[in-house]
């Protein structure tokens, strides 16, 4: 076995590890496999699970140990992780975290707390798993005017949508397979409802635009309403469905959104399969940048965590802290009406004369221009009490804002020959 490149150059660094789930356990294993001068002194676990020599159920015991220089946080969920991170920074401990919910809730406050106490806050693993793009966007944004950042930021949802399309799985089957592989948690709500991607969208907007964007500023729509019919309709049009996170700095201000979208099968994002992530950055001088890597699973995330720990060891060896997070702008948040897109809306209708004309009239009444209509879709089941066939009608619009589109769909839903829940998808250029 070759000698570690860190053994002679890195100082002894003692860390307190918070959490021993999929990520925390893998972090411990990676550090144990390499003689890099980094040692775990405490591992915080839930009460009743602290059964090893390093294990404790007391955060205070970890925090108050003077030998612990760096806190590595790998707990699930926002709380109590956020309070632990704040306490560690206030106590003069460097912090490495993989917790996107905690970072997205108050990145500005955490960055200010780290700066006030002359310690580092590193969170590479909070966004993009093993993609290692957080530091790159920070560097890009230092000397570039970033206009927008977009991409696939949830490996679980990408895996599910990919296999619904390529393997013909139902939503439920795809979710079960993702859980079996460890991509989705036992409670997958954060992934499939879009909140995981929304947390990452808040982080990348904050870093890209030097202004505070929290999870509360993000418009969120998950994939729970995507059906086999949606997949089939997309395939028929040589398109795929992807859950996208999109942040923009436009004339009306900063916007951050997460939504499922239709993209052409030849688009670069269409080739992002399985649990992989991909992010596009548009910057003034650097032009278009793309980052690609595994976005789900304990090992990729743990790899990013360990990378941050090693980085912090080097900071300590050099007698410095990591670079501060510049949040010198206070850009306004764009209203939802400022963003326009084309939409594909699929209605379930009682198939009889005059239906198309009546629906088109509602679109015209609301000022939404129709770009295309497709009624040649597989019929669905009949409604109780209705003897005719329930047909699918798919309408693609020209550019409109989401509020206007939603109001239009609501008006159409009120028509007596429209049934069920509509499917609404944005169409990516």
Q: What angle do CA 218, 82, 24 make, to 5 degrees?
A: 105
Same domain, 308 and 189: no
Same domain, 87 and 167: no
Domain boundary among 287, 318, 349: 318
CA distance 391 to 382: 9
Same domain, 152 and 263: yes
Confidence label for 5 from pLDDT (cuts 50, 70 and 90): very low
Q: What share of the chain is helix, strand, coil (3-state, %, to 5)?
A: 40, 25, 35
Same domain, 22 and 141: no
Question: Which pTM does this prediction carry?
Answer: 0.88
Q: How many CB atoms lie within 10 A of CB 189?
A: 13
How buried is 421 (Cβ within 10 angstroms: 0-12 exposed, 13-18 middle, 19+ buried)? exposed
Same domain, 105 and 145: no
CATH at 412:
3.30.70.260
**Does pLDDT of 120 surpass 60?**
yes
* Residue 353 belongs to some domain of the structure: yes
Domain residue limits at 205? 133-296
pLDDT by residue (tens digit) across 264-278? 999 989 999 988 999
pLDDT at 1: 36
* Residue 229 belongs to some domain of the structure: yes
Same domain, 346 and 310: no
Residues 6+ apart with CB under 8 A from 357: none
Domain boundary among 286, 318, 350: 318
Helix (H, G, I), strand (E, B) or coil at 27: helix
pLDDT by residue (tens digit) across 380-403? 666 655 556 788 899 999 999 999
* Of the listed ranges 73-87, 194-208, 326-340, the one predicted with least confidence: 326-340
* Residue 333 belongs to some domain of the structure: no
Mean pLDDT score, 12-32: 91
* Residue 2 belongs to some domain of the structure: no
Type and span of the H or E element at 24: helix 22-33
* Residue 3 belongs to some domain of the structure: no
Same domain, 125 and 150: no
Same domain, 200 and 283: yes
How buried is 242 (Cβ within 10 angstroms: 0-12 exposed, 13-18 middle, 19+ buried)? buried
pLDDT at 283: 86
Same domain, 197 and 246: yes
Same domain, 176 and 290: yes
Mean pLDDT score, 272-292: 87
State yes or no: is 200 an active-site residue: yes
* Residue in 33, 64, 95, 119 with CA at minimum distance from that of residue 56: 64
* Residue 5 belongs to some domain of the structure: no
Percentage of the chain beyond pLDDT 90 is: 60
* Residue 331 belongs to some domain of the structure: no
pLDDT at 128: 77
Mean pLDDT score, 99-107: 95
Same domain, 104 and 188: no
CATH at 312:
3.40.50.720
Both structure tokens of 199: 């947390």
- Per the structure, the count of domains in the chain is 3
* Residue 330 belongs to some domain of the structure: no
Helix (H, G, I), strand (E, B) or coil at 416: coil
Find the catalytic residue in 8, 100, 108, 200: 200
* Residue in 375, 366, 373 with CA at minimum distance from that of residue 411: 366
pLDDT at 50: 67
Same domain, 17 and 111: yes
Q: Where are the alpha helices (DSSP H) in 49-99?
A: 59-63, 81-90
CATH at 259:
3.30.360.10
Mean pLDDT score, 220-232: 92
């Amino acid at each position: 076995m070759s000698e570690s490149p860190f053994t002679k150059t890195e100082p002894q660094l003692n860390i307190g590890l918070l959490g021993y789930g999929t990520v925390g356990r893998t972090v411990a294993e990676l550090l144990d496999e390499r003689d890099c001068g980094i040692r775990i002194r405490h591992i915080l676990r839930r009460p009743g699970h602290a059964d090893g020599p390093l294990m404790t159920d007391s955060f205070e015991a970890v925090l108050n140990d003077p030998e612990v220089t760096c806190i590595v946080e790998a707990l699930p969920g926002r709380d109590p992780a956020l309070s632990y991170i704040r306490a560690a920074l206030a106590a003069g401990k460097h912090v490495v975290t993989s917790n996107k919910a905690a970072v997205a809730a108050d990145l500005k406050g955490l960055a200010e707390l780290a700066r006030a106490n002359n310690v580092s806050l590193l969170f590479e693993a909070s966004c993009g798993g093993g993609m290692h793009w957080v530091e790159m966007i920070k560097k890009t944004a230092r000397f570039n005017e970033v206009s927008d950042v977009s991409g696939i930021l949830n490996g679980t949802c990408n895996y599910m949508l990919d296999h619904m399309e390529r393997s013909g799985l139902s939503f439920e089957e795809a979710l079960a397979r993702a859980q079996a592989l460890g991509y989705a948690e036992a409670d997958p709500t954060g992934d499939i409802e879009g909140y995981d991607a929304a947390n990452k969208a808040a982080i990348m907007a904050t870093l890209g635009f030097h202004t505070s964007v929290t999870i509360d500023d993000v418009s969120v729509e998950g994939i729970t309403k995507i059906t086999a019919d949606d997949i089939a309709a997309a395939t028929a049009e040589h398109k795929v469905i992807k859950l996208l996170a999109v942040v923009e700095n436009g004339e009306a201000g900063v916007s951050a959104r997460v939504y499922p979208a239709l993209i052409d099968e030849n688009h670069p994002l269409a080739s992002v399969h399985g649990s992989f992530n991909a992010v596009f950055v548009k910057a003034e001088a650097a032009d278009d940048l793309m980052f690609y890597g595994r976005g789900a699973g304990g090992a990729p995330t743990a790899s990013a965590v360990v990378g941050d720990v090693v980085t912090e060891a080097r900071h300590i060896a050099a007698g410095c802290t990591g670079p501060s997070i510049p949040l010198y702008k206070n850009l306004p948040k764009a209203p939802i009406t400022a963003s326009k897109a084309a939409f594909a809306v699929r209605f379930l209708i009682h198939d009889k004369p005059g239906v198309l004309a009546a629906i088109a009239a509602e679109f015209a009444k609301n000022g939404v221009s129709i770009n295309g209509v497709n009624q040649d879709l597989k019929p669905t089941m009949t409604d109780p009490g209705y003897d005719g066939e329930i047909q699918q009608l798919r309408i693609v619009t020209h550019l409109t804002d989401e509020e206007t589109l939603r109001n239009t769909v609501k008006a159409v839903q009120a028509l007596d020959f429209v049934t069920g829940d509509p499917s609404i998808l944005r169409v990516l250029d």
